[in-house]
Structure 1
Amino acid sequence: MKLSEIKEVLKTVETVSFQLPDETFVPEHFHVTEIGEISKNFIDCGGTVRKETVVNFQLWDANDYEHRLKPQKLNNIIELSEKILNIKDNEIEVEYQSDTIGKYDLDFDGKNFKLVSKKTACLAKDNCGVPKEKKNLNELQTTGGCCTPNSGCC
């Protein structure tokens, strides 16, 4: 979900709720403690230099159980961040505390914001030897119980 998309959703909802991948909810008394822009400059395992930029939201729940973040208030925080930090319309990444700080993508199901688990992946599959397709063991060619050269089994 991009920053512009959450702003559109906030115009239509009465409450702001975030649902974790395990279907539980971030407690309703959460705070958005940070909104910022994070840029990551890196080189992948194939030698390609890459840059990724995300808008980062940090959610936190404290012991002020009467706190409720309203959609308009969150929208005001977003707009202030855009103005002061010159944040662009990038994808949103949400940080939320579990055993460690978890990072999630963001989606919306028509009622709740969904925190979507992020996965690692190889970005240079063509350059680092990751197989393009998986083979079933029964499809591999064997001779006398041993793999043959170039059979793809090893």
Structure 2
Amino acid sequence: MKLSEIKKCLKNLTQIGFQLPNGNLVQAHFHVTEVGKTTKSYIDCGGKVRHEEKINFQLWEEKDYDHRLHPDKLLQIIAMSEKMFELADLEIEVEYQGKETIGTYNLDFDGTYFLLQAKLTACLAEDACGIAPEKPRIRISDAGSANACEPNSGCC
């Protein structure tokens, strides 16, 4: 989810809820303690230099049960961050304290809740590492005539 998308969603909400990948909800008394921009520069395993920028939200729960973050307040926090950090319309990642460490999640919206989605690692230089691309799978019965499976088509 990009910054423009969350702002659009927040304008139509009366309350904010975040749902974890396991279906549990983040406690309603959470706070967004940080909105900022993270920049990451690195070299992948193939030797290519890469740069990433994302918008980062940090969710925090404490024993402050009397306060709830209203959508308008989060929009104000986002507006301050946009001005301070000259934020572009970047993807948002969310940090949330798990049982043992902070988890980092992608963000989506289902019309009611913001969904914290698990992130996965991947090799960014599969060709340099010798990882062969996965061949497409087709059923012979779906190929039609016997001539439909041409050499080098990937079907055999």
Common fold by TM > 0.5: yes
Work out the CA distance in 2 between the residues paired with 1:29 and 1:78.
Answer: 19
Counting only pairs closer than 5 Å after superposition, residues 1-154 of structure 1 correspond to structure 2 as: 1-98=1-98, 99-133=100-134
* One-letter amino acid of the counterpart of residue 12, structure 2: T
1:88 offset after TM fit, Å? 1.5
* One-letter amino acid of the counterpart of residue 134, structure 2: E
Work out the CA distance in 1 between the residues paired with 2:12 and 2:35.
Answer: 21
* One-letter amino acid of the counterpart of residue 23, structure 1: G
The aligned length equals 135
1:40-90 Cα shifts (integer Å, max 9, x gaps) = 000100111100110000000010011100001000000010011212210
Moved over 2 A (4+): none
For structure 1, list consecutive stretches of 5 or more residues without a partner in the other structure.
135-154
1:85-124 Cα shifts (integer Å, max 9, x gaps) = 2122100000000020100000000110000000000011
- TM-score, normalization: structure 1? 0.85
1:131 offset after TM fit, Å? 2.5
* One-letter amino acid of the counterpart of residue 48, structure 2: T
Work out the CA distance in 2 between the residues paired with 1:37 and 1:45.
Answer: 25
Work out the CA distance in 1 between the residues paired with 2:35 and 2:64.
Answer: 20
1:132 offset after TM fit, Å? 1.4
1:126 offset after TM fit, Å? 1.2
Q: Aligned to 2:96, what secondary structure does the other structure show?
A: strand
- TM-score, normalization: structure 2? 0.84
User: RMSD of aligned C-alpha atoms?
Assistant: 1.2
Q: Aligned to 1:102, what secondary structure does the other structure show?
A: strand
Work out the CA distance in 2 between the residues paired with 1:120 and 1:87.
Answer: 25
For structure 2, list consecutive stretches of 5 or more residues without a partner in the other structure.
136-156
* One-letter amino acid of the counterpart of residue 39, structure 1: T
Identity %: 58
